[in-house]
Amino acid sequence: MSRFLLPVCALLWGGVLAATSPADVDRAANAVAVNLNGVIRPCPSPFQLLGTANRRCVAADGSSTLTRQLLSVSGLNLYGGWRSDDDPAYVYNWIQMPSGYVKVMVAPFPNRPGSTLVFLDVTASSAVTAPAFRRTLRLSTPRMNGADVVALQNRLMDVSKVARGAGGDGWFGPVTEANVIAFQSTNGLAPSGVVDRATWTKLFSSTARFFDPKLAKAIAERNKVAK
């Protein structure tokens, strides 16, 4: 019997997007099946061990590359570009649904050459243990800095799906301000660039919504020109 091992990206697959309902996973699976002329079926081993009990699997004909391309032009509201951590045959993304984002992974169907498996599941709550709000943070001269600024920067990177790298530098500069404005604009807050208690609480909550880092970059460039 051949062995089929999931790559690291599948085992560590997660996210910080807004949590979804099981009903939206069903809706997303139906939409994927219709677009691919695929079949909703029980998840095969080892995908039965991945994710939650709300997981759904869709079997489709064709390679994983073709399946990914078809989903990209299907009209489904994808989060952005497809991602792969360690094996380009396994790619993942998110589909925006009414309650949040549904995880979607495209992978070769185990032991079935020429077929692809689309795996869908709920997105876990993005809540984190919020550091205590200690002071209002803003762009100033001299620059504000400290552990709370590092926490702010790291959380902004997480919510915007930007790799942390070495993490925040701890200094509240124009780039941090631009990211705060982008976050506030996307999350129904006044886009002031000032991190007050309301912004801090929203940022570290499970309802913090993704904001496009490209928007933050555009804001930073605009502010630079304005000055």
List, for residues 7-32, the tens digit of each pLDDT value: 544 444 555 455 567 899 999 999 99
* 89 lies in the same domain as 161: no
Rounded Cα distance between 95 and 55, Å, is: 14
Provide the whole-model pTM. 0.55
User: What is the rounded average pLDDT of the residues 177-195?
Assistant: 96
Is 137 a member of any domain? no
Lowest-confidence region among 50-54, 73-77, 144-148, 201-205:
50-54
Label residue 5 by pLDDT band (50, 70, 90). Answer: very low
Could you tell me which residue, 162 or 138, shows the higher pLDDT?
138
- Phi first, then psi, for residue 49 (nearest 5°) are -95, 0
Number of domains in the chain: 2
Residues spanned by the domain of 196: 147-222
Residue with tokens 């928007």: 215
CA distance 51 to 128: 19
Measured distance CA(72)–CA(58) in Å, rounded: 16
- Decide if 187 is inside a domain: yes
Q: Do 55 and 104 belong to one domain?
A: yes
Distance, in Å, from the CA atom of 17 to the CA atom of 38, rounded to the nearest integer, reads 27
Residue 196 has which token pair? 């007050």
Residue ending a domain, among 121, 156, 184, is 121
pLDDT value of residue 47: 84
- 155: in domain: yes
Single-letter code of the amino acid located at 68: R
Same domain, 50 and 107: yes
Nearest to 68 by CA among 127, 108, 98: 108
* Residues 220 and 178 sit within 8 Å (Cβ to Cβ): yes
